[in-house]
């Protein structure tokens, strides 16, 4: 059985254009249109459309609320395909509280495999649900901003944005 067609719409955010891919079951990718370097779906599977689907309307409304500082969690239907290991890492990302960060080492420990730090980093980089599955909340053990497919300036912006609304902090550390 082949995958159903993916629909694509775009949302202009404070960080640039977000490409949102979805089908009748939910959202499968939210990517920074000019930054994502990972695998793209087969162009024959993508249909560019206006957001008429209720899930995509809800997704865009929730993204707008997030950027306005009014939303900390997302509850529209979303999923991504991956190995059991990848799904485990991506699910662990959902447990990182808004406005907080953890290290790649801590994330490795949370999935029960401290030695998998490199694989965790690689998997974090393959996350296709930017912002919603908060891979931007993972930083280096030394506190540095490292490894963000959406470019480090966006990671810094997202972390400062969340800190501002979660803790009333305007600027974080040396970022």
Chunked mean pLDDT (size 10), the chain, 175 residues:
70 92 92 68 50 85 96 96 97 97 96 95 95 97 88 95 81 51
CATH 3.30.160 segments of the chain: 6-67
Count Cβ neighbours within 10 Å for each residue of 6-30 and write b for 16 or more, e otherwise. Answer: bbbbebebebeebbbbbbeebbbbb
CATH architecture for segment(s) 6-67: 2-Layer Sandwich (3.30)
pLDDT score, position 169: 59
Residues 6+ apart with CB under 8 A from 31: 18, 19, 21, 128, 130, 150
pLDDT score, position 45: 47
Q: Which segments within 75-121 are labelled E, that is strand?
A: 102-103
Q: Which helix (H) or strand (E) holds 9?
A: strand 6-13
Q: Which of 112, 113, 75 is nearest to 94 (CA)?
A: 75
CATH 1.10.10.10 segments of the chain: 84-167
Class of domain 84-167: mainly alpha
| Options 135, 145, 159, 163, the catalytic residue | 135
Q: Is the Cα dihedral 110, 148, 133, 1 positive or negative?
A: negative
135 is catalytic: yes
R_g over Cα of the chain: 16
pLDDT score, position 37: 55
* Distance separating alpha carbons of residues 42 and 71, to the nearest angstrom: 32
Residues 6+ apart with CB under 8 A from 3: 23, 45
pLDDT score, position 4: 58
């Amino acid at each position: 059985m082949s995958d159903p067609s993916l629909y694509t719409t775009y949302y202009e955010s404070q960080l640039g254009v977000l490409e949102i891919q979805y089908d009748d079951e939910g959202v499968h990718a939210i990517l920074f249109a000019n930054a994502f370097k990972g695998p793209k779906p087969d162009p024959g599977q993508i249909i560019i459309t206006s957001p008429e689907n209720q899930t995509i309307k809800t997704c865009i409304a929730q993204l707008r609320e997030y950027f306005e500082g009014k939303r900390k969690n997302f509850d529209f239907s979303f999923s991504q395909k991956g190995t059991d290991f990848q799904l485990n890492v991506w699910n662990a990302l959902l447990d990182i509280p808004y406005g907080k960060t953890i290290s790649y080492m801590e994330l490795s420990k949370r999935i029960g495999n401290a030695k998998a730090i490199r694989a965790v980093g690689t998997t974090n980089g393959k996350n296709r649900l930017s912002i919603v599955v908060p891979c931007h909340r993972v930083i280096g053990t030394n506190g540095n901003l490292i490894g963000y497919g959406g470019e480090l300036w966006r990671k810094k912006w997202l972390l400062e944005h969340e800190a501002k609304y979660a803790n009333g902090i305007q600027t974080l550390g040396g970022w």
